Structure 1
Amino acid sequence: MQGAAPKLAGRVALVAGATRGAGRAIARELARAGAVVYCSGRSTAQGPSDYGRKETIEETVELIRAEGGTAHPAVVDHRRLGEVRSLIERIDQDQGRLDILVNDIGGEAYVEFDIPLWEFDFDKGMKLFDTGFTTHLITSHCALGLLTSRPGGLVVEVTDGTRAYNSTHYRSTVFLDITKTAVDRLAFAEGHELAPHGATAVSVTPGWLRSEMMLDHFNVSEDTWRQAAEANRGKTDAVPPYEFVISETPAMLARGIVAMAADPDRSRWNTTSLSSFQLAEHYGLTDVDGSRPDSWSFITAMESRPVAEIDAAEFR
């Protein structure tokens, strides 16, 4: 843990999509800061999701409890309105409040890159959209009544790419592009409706996230990822690509979200789009290795400068 934890004692949080990756890290950091955290997801020991991953929502809760935090598992498919409504009713009955909502379900397992819309399998595309965006819409629809029952609430919509980056970059397929930009727009719209109730909504994005899924995809580990990426500098179609040298752990985004939740002036961020780097820079945070990767600036620089001239250390 980094320094003194922000104090969120007495706050109640829901992290939708807390099974792995950023969601798991966010749930753990919120609990370390004293919040009661409801961790929801589909993957359980008895019934894993179609992501085909080994992580479960129970494991996330076990990790939090082992660290002395308070967490409750909730096996929920956030594409199903009734299941989400039941979860919010449970939180209301148990706690009588909801202070922090983090919508982190991303649908990355369903992405197929560089396929034009007319050739894309429509059902697969809609599965990506419904998992990566409709889940956010349903969860906010069900939760915001409870969250606005007292002032000070925070809604965090986790997406991929800052608003500035996505406004000028096409994200490989229509379904992926629309999904990720829609999540950001949802936060923008929510912020306008939440402001009169003293609540805040923001969209946030990690940089190149070094999640469990990404490490496995590139067949590297926390001990080997940097060396493997550096070895592929200047190569095309290499695995992992050189750009992976700027990757970050899920902890940097999680630390930034916790700091924002603890900030009495967090309404300054309402309706905005923030990167993990921006949050870390503003709140004086780093990743677990003490660096502060600026992934989006690094990726943008690679579009206009020769790779040989770019040192990733400039952006960490």
Structure 2
Amino acid sequence: MAGDGAAGARVALVTGASRGAGRGIARGFGELGYTVYVTGRSTVSGSAKGWAKGWDGSVLPGTVQETADEVTAAGGTGNAVLCDHGDDAQVASLFERIARDHGRLDVLVNNATFIHHQLIEKRPFWEKELAAVGILDVGLRSAYVASWHAARMMVAQGSGIIAFGSSFGGSCYMHGPAYGAQKAGLDKFAHDMAHDLHGTGVIAVSVWMGPLVTERSLIARQTNPEQYEGFLETAENPEFTAHIIDAIDRAPDREALSGQTLIGAEIARTLGVTDRGHERPSYRAMLGSPRPKNPAAVY
């Protein structure tokens, strides 16, 4: 569905990139000249059934091919791959394709997540549909599966970064227990995978993103203006997260960063990364802090 990319370009995979955070993160890697594989289920806007609907029921724009085209337009090489991350066989085929095309993978960004249409409704979890638990399948389990495949490639080549797109919901109450468990689980994946990856040249990190400018967040501002209007005034462009992940992987102390849950806005300041020339605020004081690395290990 696209070309193989420029010789020598770094190769990234961003899962769940038809729209939202994934689409912007993929564009961000394109701006840095990466060859970027983007996955999703949408071939036409709204084709991914309930996944492609806004909070108001409107059809959200975005397809994997459109994202790949935007990556290329931004300066990289986009490769669109239709992939349901709830299907392990499709995920295995995805990594086989990357291995055939390039023989390497430098960056995996686990972003694919099931977003239930009641996610931001202010009601207890038992009054929402049971289907909201799907975020633990495509969102948590699927991230483990993709990371398993990526680690096998990256350890063999002796380099790479496995990144998880997480949020302050891993610590505070945010959108209910299913969402919170998924984010906390991603943070723990980074922590424990880093332990296993130590000394291989591969690192794992979880990045807490701030409020993002996405299709859904713009609809959320209209649906719940009192809750989202203020946040979006200083919201991050999702391309910012790609630039942060690239900077982490190039940092001289990358091994020390491995296993950490990092607040994107904070590590960006440390590494000299800005969001279109702007520093973004950290919400640590309002929403809480990541758990520190724990050196204890039990086998």
**Would you say same fold, with TM above 0.5?**
yes
- Decide whether the 8 Å contact of 1:162 with 1:204 is kept in 2: no
2:124 is the counterpart of 1:116: yes
SS of residue matched to 2:80: strand
Mapped pair 1:176 → 2:179: yes
Query: 2:206 aligned with 1:206, yes or no?
Result: no
Cα distance 1:116–1:83, how it changes in 2: closer, same or farther (>3 A)?
same
Secondary structure of 1:54's aligned partner: coil
CA distance in 2, matches of 1:67, 1:173: 36
- 1:117–1:173 Cα contact (<8 Å) kept: yes
Runs of 5+ consecutive residues of structure 2 not aligned to the other structure:
1-6, 54-59, 289-299
Q: Describe the shift of the 1:293–1:45 C-alpha distance in structure 2 as closer, same or farther (beyond 3 A).
A: same
SS in 1 for 2:36: strand
Residue in 2 aligned with 1:276? 264
Runs of 5+ unmatched residues, structure 1: 1-7, 221-235, 302-316
Letter in 2 for 1:254: A
Query: What is the distance in 2 between the residues matched to 1:47 and 1:82?
Result: 24
1-structure distance, mates of 2:284, 2:219: 25
3-state DSSP of counterpart to 1:219: helix
Matched AA of 1:10: A
Cα displacement (A) at 1:162: 7.5
Q: How does 1:218-229 map to 2 (within 5 A)?
A: 218-219=221-222
CA distance in 2, matches of 1:237, 1:200: 39
Counterpart of 1:106, as a letter, is T
TM-score of the superposed pair, with normalisation by structure 1: 0.78
Which residue pairs with 2:57 in the alignment?
Answer: none
Q: Note the alpha carbon deviations across 1:50-88, whole angstroms, 9 max, x for none.
A: 223211110111112223321211110111100000011
The AA in structure 2 aligned to 1:272 is: Q
In structure 2, which of residues 163, 174, 188 is the aligned counterpart of residue 156 of structure 1? 163
CA distance in 1, matches of 2:44, 2:101: 25
- Counterpart AA for 1:296: Y
TM-score (norm 2): 0.82
Q: How does 1:1-316 map to 2 (within 5 A)?
A: 9-45=8-44, 48-50=47-49, 51-52=52-53, 53-110=60-117, 111-122=119-130, 124-161=131-168, 166=171, 169-219=172-222, 238=226, 240-288=228-276, 290-297=277-284, 299-300=286-287
Q: Note the C-alpha offset of 1:201.
A: 0.1
Q: Check whether the contact 1:21–1:211 (CA below 8 A) recurs between aligned residues.
A: yes
Aligned residues: 273
Distance in 1 between residues matched to 2:180 and 2:227, nearest whole Å: 23
Q: Which amino acid aligns with 2:230?
A: Y
Alpha-carbon separation, structure 1, partners of 2:229 and 2:74: 35
